[in-house]
Amino acid sequence: MPRPKSEFDDLYPCDFYTPTELLESGQMYTVYEIARLLQDLEADAELEPGEEEILLDWAIPWLLSHGDDLVIAEPPTDADPGFYGLREDGDLPGES
């Protein structure tokens, strides 16, 4: 259910990192690692139970809004998440 803005003590700009600010060239990351990086945590930071789901609420829209700047790789197994990285020249077939 939506809530009135007046119910919140503070409002902040919705500024997110760009892919080049967040991700290292030549590296691939899971959505879970990206979620941590978006919160200025280490990609392998330990989280309290339930925190990961909250962080994913930030990461999934970020991935969708920056899809043109990213590439995705199939997960190693069906039980693993996919991997995302910066889209660079020559990453995709037919690109040079």
Q: Which residues constitute the domain of residue 30? A: 26-86
Task: Look at residue 38 and tell me if it is in a domain.
Answer: yes
* 33 three-class SS: helix
Report the domain count for the chain. Answer: 1
Average confidence (pLDDT) over 61-70:
94
Q: Flag whether pLDDT at 16 surpasses 90.
A: no
Residue 55 confidence (pLDDT): 92
What span, in angstroms and rounded, lies between the C-alpha atoms of 28 and 59?
15
For 19-64, how does the pLDDT look when each residue is reduced to its tens digit (9 = 90+)? 999 999 999 999 999 999 999 999 999 998 899 999 999 899 999 9
Task: Look at residue 4 and tell me if it is in a domain.
Answer: no
Task: Look at residue 5 and tell me if it is in a domain.
Answer: no
